[in-house]
Copies of this chain bind each other. A is one copy, B any other.
Amino acid sequence: MARKPLTKPRKYASQERSRATVDALIAATARVLVKEGFDKASTNRIAEKAGVSIGSLYQYFPCKESLVVAVIERHNQELMQVVHATLAEVASQPIEKAVPRLVLAAVEAHRVDPKLHRVLAEQTPRTGKLENIEAYNRDAHALFRAYLEGHRDELRVADLDLATFICVTSIEALTHTAVLHHSEMLTDEAVGRLVDEASRLVLGYLQ
């Protein structure tokens, strides 16, 4: 009876050690991607910055791509957390209130780690396992569509899929471009105007 408590922690310890290594590698990958760009982000550099040997890197990630995939997944999860929370929050609100809130959430999502987001968006080739870089978009579409479905009576659109496509694509493009390419739009005031205008765009369309 005395031994089990002794062995379990040991196992935990080793599990934690693995986990720490994996985390360090993902974090290092993100850091290197941001600092050096996608091309210069070699596995050796990543291992070095993670304070881990190259061998350990390949113990946990079968190839370079999989590291980037892990970073993407972690990043997308963070983005989706914002979107998810916001959609839950506005679920029962009318579109006049919900849409501005959602646009703001999109801005916030892009501000989670804008430098990383930019590297992923602009330097990371959508090839091989990286083809699904924008998988989060699918989730966003589904969530937004569900919201629209719940508020159909407020809408004046025939095709809900098309409406979802129109709204999500526009909001994503506007907030993405604003956050990543127009830093002048990031003052509180400018963000306010952006949110207003984007909301007017979408609301005008939906109603």
Q: A interface vs B, CB < 8 Å? A: 37-39, 122-127, 157, 159, 162-163, 165-166, 169-170, 172-174, 177-178, 182, 193-194, 197-198, 200-202, 204-205
Could you tell me the distance between the alpha carbons of A173 and B175 in the complex, rounded to whole angstroms?
12
Contact assessment for A127 and B166 in the assembled complex, using a CB-CB cutoff below 8 Å: no
Nearest B residue to A118 via CB reads B126
CB-CB nearest in chain B for A205: B201
Is B169 in contact with A177, judged by CB distance below 8 angstroms? yes
Whether B205 lies near A200 (C-beta < 8 A) is yes
**Which of chain B's residues have a CB closer than 8 A to the CB of A178?**
165
Q: A170-B173, A201-B170 are in contact. Are A38 and B125 (CB under 8 A)?
A: yes
30 contacts between A and B (CB under 8 A): A37-B125, A37-B127, A38-B125, A39-B125, A123-B127, A124-B125, A159-B197, A162-B193, A162-B194, A165-B177, A165-B178, A165-B182, A166-B174, A166-B197, A166-B201, A169-B173, A169-B174, A169-B177, A170-B173, A170-B174, A170-B201, A173-B173, A173-B174, A200-B205, A201-B201, A201-B202, A201-B205, A204-B204, A204-B205, A205-B205
Given A162-B193, A170-B170, 5 further pairs, Cβ under 8 A: A125-B125, A159-B197, A170-B174, A173-B173, A201-B205
Contact B125 A122, beta carbon cutoff 8 Å = yes
Nearest-CB distance from A167 to chain B (Å)?
A: 8
